[in-house]
Amino acid sequence: MTAQSSSPRVAAIQMVSADDLDQNLKAAADLIASAAATDTQIVVLPENFAVLSADAQAKVKLAEPAGDGPIQQFLSDQARQHGIVLVGGTIPILANEPGKVRAACLTVGPDGELLGRYDKIHLFDVALNSGKEQYNESATIEHGENSCVIDTPWGKLGVAVCYDIRFPELFRQMMVAGAQIVALPSAFTATTGLAHWEILLRARAIENQCYLIAPDQGAGRERGRHTWGHSMIISPWGDILAELDEQGSGVATAEINLQSLELLREKFPALQHCRTL
């Protein structure tokens, strides 16, 4: 595909997803409609938008085979209805290993057809707050293997998910493949978000000279997962173009300029200067 516009409007959707799939999909549909009403061309949902539960098995129970299922149909219908590129956060897709899922990020085009799929590579197996706060994604998630850059009508889009932000090698792979924009659906913890969210987002955007669309799950203690919110859109110079608060749901939008991005890369050719590839 060739770009239809060098200045698309993009949106990061912040949600407070919980256990109820139908409720989450309705909330997502309302927020997508709000984004589309501002003439947005690329819309990105947060990680685990369809279900975010204290019960790690909740997503396993909702796992869909690739290419078929209500969550995948929802993404296709929404993209087609609004004529947008929709980056579908992550959804549980059946894995090769029994009892596990892939945290799959599906990007759907304006015609409702799948443009690309990225499976989260880096899984969040960490202990925080002296071990009082623990996460073990690998218990229920099978990691992906490949980076992903997608041709869209509005530029080349790389996709990463949440914990991937801590692995700059992945981002550099996407730049080598031509990415101009990176979508980073997230459910960042409040603990790590306070310390590192903005710093990491701005660093990845600056060092890779790319736009970064980073929707996060908003704060919501009722589902046993304390998430950070502060969904952001970052420029290649590290400027915060749009940001939401910690609490609740909402839509952050900004116009990006791919001609300016390419001019920056031409005049400040840091990516070409890299000698470690």
What integer pLDDT is reported at residue 199 of this predicted model?
A: 98
What integer pLDDT is reported at residue 2 of this predicted model?
A: 42
Among candidates 204, 206, 200, 147, which has minimal Cα distance to 174? 147
Each residue of 185-218: pLDDT tens digit? 999 999 999 999 999 999 999 999 999 999 999 9
Query: Residue 33: pLDDT above 70?
Result: yes
| Catalytic residue (one of 47, 64, 137, 198) | 47
Among candidates 184, 203, 199, 176, which has minimal Cα distance to 265? 176
Among candidates 151, 96, 136, 152, which has minimal Cα distance to 119? 96
What integer pLDDT is reported at residue 223 of this predicted model?
A: 61
Written as six digits, the tokens of 188 are 């960042």
Q: Does the annotation mark 47 as catalytic?
A: yes
Q: Does the annotation mark 210 as catalytic?
A: no
CATH code of 9-273, in short, is 3.60.110.10
What integer pLDDT is reported at residue 100 of this predicted model?
A: 98
Q: Does the annotation mark 162 as catalytic?
A: yes
What integer pLDDT is reported at residue 57 of this predicted model?
A: 95
* CB 235, CB 204: distance < 8 Å: no
Please give the torsion angle defined by the CA atoms of residues 220, 102, 208 and 168, in that order, rounded to the nearest 10 degrees: 90
**What span, in angstroms and rounded, lies between the C-alpha atoms of 134 and 111?**
41
Segment 113-121 shows an average pLDDT of 98
Query: Residue 1: pLDDT above 50?
Result: no
What integer pLDDT is reported at residue 137 of this predicted model?
A: 97
Segment 173-187 shows an average pLDDT of 98
Each residue of 149-168: pLDDT tens digit? 999 999 999 999 999 999 99
What integer pLDDT is reported at residue 129 of this predicted model?
A: 85
Query: Residue 121: pLDDT above 90?
Result: yes
**Confidence grade of residue 222 (pLDDT, cut at 50, 70, 90):** low
Each residue of 228-262: pLDDT tens digit? 999 999 999 999 999 999 999 999 999 999 999 99
| Catalytic residue (one of 100, 162, 198, 210) | 162
| Catalytic residue (one of 64, 100, 105, 120) | 120
**What span, in angstroms and rounded, lies between the C-alpha atoms of 206 and 218?**
25
Query: Residue 3: pLDDT above 50?
Result: no
Domain boundaries, the chain: 9-273
Each residue of 65-97: pLDDT tens digit? 999 999 999 999 999 999 999 999 999 999 999
Whole-model pTM over 0.95: yes
